[in-house]
């Protein structure tokens, strides 16, 4: 494959865009080389500016669950565009999408649409504090909830410690009320609750997707439910990534989490910028204009985004590709494990529903610490060999792969071939000799 036009665009983009990108993961920093620039997409494929065609296992990091350019979704967007772009006023489509979401997620009576997952989460935290009258939030190491100051933090040396800022520009005062626990480690949560009596909420991903695909164990779920209930702590479930990815509705319901506030994004926008947070009536009635917790947005409930999201969910409900997702994820897992075994490569594969992720480690990956045992140098070689063989995966060891309803049997054969070549390439060099691609 040639990437000449992508290289030229990267050089041109560096002049006025930060790193020539608008989100850091697109920069390919963790895998080396220049970012690939995409020109168009259709179904299960994306095409770059050099006319290279890839099976897309990124799916815009989750939203394109129906594949790219679905006909029914396209038609809905085109119809909405004819009426105008934005009005700064209410539309019927907001009500229709809200009704569809609330009917499919039992823990939500009312919902507020916003423009991104980050916005949904920071609003949910404010709501938890408004409702409980308490200040502190527990988050889990390795769970990503957007780039708001209060959650952009790294854990300290101990599990029962106040967090420290995880980015320049985040003052210590912004994270002083954020506590860090370890995912799948209930003792770390108990320790924090014993030390702090003003905890408003615990936020987590029901299945973590930014340290790879890591699911909670059942005992952790059950004990977390008990702890939040016994201590009047709200459970805030971040379903921005997982919502509608494993069932038509929320993943936390499958796993048994007793969610008080639910954050959504990605799939509910169908490819347009949409986020949302919702809860039972008594909590949501704290939000303005019904209550005193203020949150607003000029483009919230944008009519084009609402039309796209509604068409996506309606089509998704009818198509119900969830059995297909489970079967295809299992097939891809076997491709990875078989190729690793043939080439004597240590590999662990985690998956849940339509999300899957390989780790170059022999350890079971159950939290951020174990995820970090993965050999990221091997992943670099694996990544570029997958790209060269027509399969587009996230340019990061710790980002989930996503399946779409358009993934075909022919696509799976291409994926199998690419995996075998990529794993073979990893086996042929020593880690210490791996250079950036």
Active site positions, annotated? 144, 238, 266
CA angle 93, 99, 104 (to 5 degrees): 130
Question: Which residues on adjacent β-strands are paired with residue 214?
Answer: 208
The CA distance from 355 to 8, in Å, is 33
Rounded Cα distance between 341 and 34, Å, is 31
Q: To the nearest 5 percent, what fractions of the chain are helix, strand and coil?
A: 40, 20, 40
Give the whole-angstrom CA distance, residue 253 versus residue 126.
24
Phi/psi of residue 82, each to 5°?
-65, -25
Q: Name the residue among 172, 255, 258 with its Cα closest to residue 214.
A: 255
Cα distance between residue 133 and residue 110, in whole Å: 21
d(CA 39, CA 51): 8
Containing H/E element for 97? Answer: helix 92-104
CA 267 to chain centre: 10
């Amino acid at each position: 494959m040639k990437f000449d036009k992508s290289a030229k665009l990267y050089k041109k983009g560096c002049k006025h865009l930060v790193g020539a990108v608008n989100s850091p993961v697109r920069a390919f920093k963790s895998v080396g080389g220049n970012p690939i620039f995409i020109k168009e997409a259709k179904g299960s494929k994306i095409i770059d500016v050099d006319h290279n065609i890839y099976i897309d296992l990124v799916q815009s990091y989750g939203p394109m669950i129906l594949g790219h350019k679905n006909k029914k979704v396209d038609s809905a967007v085109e119809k909405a565009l004819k009426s105008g772009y934005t009005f700064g006023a209410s539309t019927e489509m907001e009500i229709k999408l809200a009704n569809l979401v609330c009917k499919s997620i039992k823990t939500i009576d009312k919902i507020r649409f916003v423009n991104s997952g980050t916005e949904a989460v920071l609003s949910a935290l404010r709501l938890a504090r408004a409702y409980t009258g308490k200040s502190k939030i527990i988050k889990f190491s390795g769970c990503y909830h957007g780039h708001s100051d209060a959650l952009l933090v790294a854990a300290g040396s101990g599990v029962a410690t106040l967090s420290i800022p995880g980015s320049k520009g985040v003052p210590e005062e912004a994270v002083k009320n954020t506590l860090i626990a370890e995912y799948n480690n209930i003792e770390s949560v108990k320790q924090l609750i014993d030390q702090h009596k003003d905890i408003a909420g615990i936020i987590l991903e029901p299945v973590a997707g930014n340290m790879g695909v890591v699911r909670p164990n059942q005992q952790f779920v059950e004990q977390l439910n008990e702890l939040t209930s016994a201590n009047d702590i709200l459970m805030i479930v971040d379903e921005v990534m997982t919502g509608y990815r494993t069932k038509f509705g929320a993943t936390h319901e499958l796993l048994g989490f007793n969610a008080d506030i639910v954050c959504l994004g990605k799939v509910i926008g169908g490819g347009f910028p949409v986020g949302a947070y919702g809860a039972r009536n008594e909590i949501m009635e704290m939000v303005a204009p019904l209550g005193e917790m203020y949150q607003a947005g000029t483009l919230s409930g944008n009519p084009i985004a609402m039309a796209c999201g509604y068409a996506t969910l309606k089509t998704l409900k009818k198509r119900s590709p969830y059995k297909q997702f489970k079967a295809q994820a299992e097939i891809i897992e076997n491709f990875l494990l078989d190729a690793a075994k043939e080439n004597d490569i240590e590999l662990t594969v985690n998956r849940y529903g339509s999300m899957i992720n390989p780790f170059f480690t022999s350890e079971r990956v159950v939290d951020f610490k174990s995820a970090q045992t993965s050999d990221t140098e091997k992943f670099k070689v694996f990544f570029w060999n997958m790209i060269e063989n027509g399969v587009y995966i996230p340019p990061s060891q710790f980002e989930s792969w996503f399946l779409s309803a358009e993934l075909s049997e022919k696509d799976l054969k291409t994926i199998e071939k690419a995996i075998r070549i990529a794993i073979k390439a990893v086996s042929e060099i020593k880690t210490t000799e791996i250079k950036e691609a």
